[in-house]
Amino acid sequence: MRIQLITMPRSGSTYFYRAINRYTYGYLCDDDVGWGEFFSPWKMRASDNYETDKANRLKIWNSASDMFIKTHMHYLDDAEVLEACRSSDIYNILLYRRDIFQAALSLSITEYTGEHVLYTQDTGFDIKQADLEKSIDFYIGYLEKLNSNYYKLDFAEVFAFEDLTFNEDTDFHSTLLSDKFIRKVKKSPDKKRITNYNELYEFSSKYLNGKTTWDFK
């Protein structure tokens, strides 16, 4: 199935995407964090030919049977990307942030420092009110589009940043999607299937002189 996390910047989407990706289709992608922001205009413009790259990405997404991407709402302002994300068989998850001030402030900080995930700026600095106002307007504009169903998208699940626990196991299993991927949750093999378990244990105990466990000191 095709899964898409639709979100806004600074809403916990990097974390939530990785938490879900861990249990879904991350293993199908060469990148450890999966396909990520597959339709990021900045990523596509970094290629040798933007239109060719976009066409290739649209082809991959439209023909994929198993894929998970993250899409920021402003990527949907591209008509071709929006059309590709409107299919009724896409499992859309919406992630938003209730606190507009904190979201806008985080965006302003990111634009000031240029740091999106790893943060090294540890000295004090001022954020201009005009920059914060710009960030607030950015959020309000897209939240209004959400409320009016401007993009005409159906969401299978909706989450708020403030409700995330930031524990990957807990947050993934809070999704309805988790029921579809329970088979991929890693579990210890059932050792009771080994009919000569006791015999093997006795052998290893003798072989290891009774020291069948080890600890780092």
> How many CB atoms neighbour CB 84 within 10 A?
22
Q: What is the pTM of this model?
A: 0.77
What phi, psi does 132 have (nearest 5°)? Answer: -65, -40
Mean pLDDT by 10-residue block, N- to C-terminus, for the chain (217 residues)?
Answer: 92 92 81 76 80 91 93 94 92 92 83 60 74 88 91 94 93 92 64 82 87 73
Alpha carbons 83 and 168: distance in angstroms, whole number = 31
pLDDT at 20: 93
65 closest CA partner among 32, 93, 28: 28
Domains of the chain, CATH where assigned: 2-207 (3.40.50.300)
Q: Is the dihedral of CA 15, 17, 22, 27 positive or negative?
A: negative
Read off the pLDDT of residues 112-155 as tens digits, 9 standing for 90 and up: 675 555 556 666 668 788 888 888 898 899 999 999 999 999 99
